[in-house]
Amino acid sequence: MAPTQLMLHSREPLTGGRMILGLTGWMNGGEVSTGTVEYLVSALEAERVGQILPEDFYLYSFPGSMEVTAMFRPHTRIEDGLITSYVPPSNTFYASRKANLVLFEGKEPNFHWGDYADCLFTVASELGAERIYFIGSVAGVVPHTREPRLFSSVSDEALKGELESYGVRFSGYEGPASVATYLTVAARERGIGMATLVGEIPAYVQGRNPRCIEVMVRHLAAMLGLHVPLDELRSESDAFEAKLNEIVEDRDQLAQLITKLESDYDSEVFDTQMGDLKAWLEQQGIRLD
């Protein structure tokens, strides 16, 4: 029986399909998670096939200041006393038959992770998606002048060889878990292959990161045999880097820091603490976007 929160408009199955997940929230720095899915939906002309109803999964009333509470509320617009729009959290499934792909863009749930997972795995089963990939990003000590590293965690050891052949590294992490980790554990319990692909983006850059989105799309295209046009995304990525380079030229201390990051990156020096970097950025009031 399908979960009551799930509305699926099409149940035409794929043959050996794959599912790609993108979520707003904790692992969507640079909008890499949702931006990658949005680009693929557009490039592959994927059709909307279903949604997860939001009511059971989100906290709308949060104690605190108005600025904090506002981040949890649905968005509305009122014009001359008339409510013209009311937009709750969106969780939407798309399907591209020609790419044999199910795409999902949603908002990380606050509640009932198990029920949310049931909705995702039900769609995977009904639409014939045999492998699931979660796309994400984390802030790291990577310079914007270098291609972001991709890290992964997997539901099954057997998946590692395939990912490794595309230059993906494997995560070593201990701390608070994300919903992506929960889903990967749940996939293993259900006998479904699932992998996360997490890009490491510069900690000193805010806003949408076209470079990391381009890297993620390119890797997915190679791994999944997707025919995706990349010229537009590459141009946006190059313009993004050029803009950052122009800003950095006027900040001597930041330029020196980035030179050090480049040296560490090229020498495979990993620093996962980032405490000094974050403190320095805050002290200097640096925000690049």
As assigned by CATH, the class of the 6-284 domain is alpha beta
Task: Give ∠ CA 20-21-24 in degrees, rounded to 5.
Answer: 150
Residue 204 dihedral angles phi and psi, to the nearest 5°: -95, 5
Cα separation, 160 vs 162, in Å, equals 5
CB 48 within 8 A of CB 92: yes
pLDDT value at residue 63: 78
pLDDT value at residue 282: 58
Tell me the mean pLDDT per 10 residues along the chain, length 289: 87 91 92 97 96 93 79 90 94 95 96 96 95 93 85 94 91 89 96 95 85 94 93 90 81 77 74 54 55
The pTM of the full predicted model, rounded to 2 decimals, is 0.89
Amino acid at 115: D
Cα separation, 117 vs 75, in Å, equals 25
CB 118 within 8 A of CB 183: no
pLDDT value at residue 281: 59
Cα separation, 272 vs 140, in Å, equals 7
Residue 208 dihedral angles phi and psi, to the nearest 5°: -60, 135
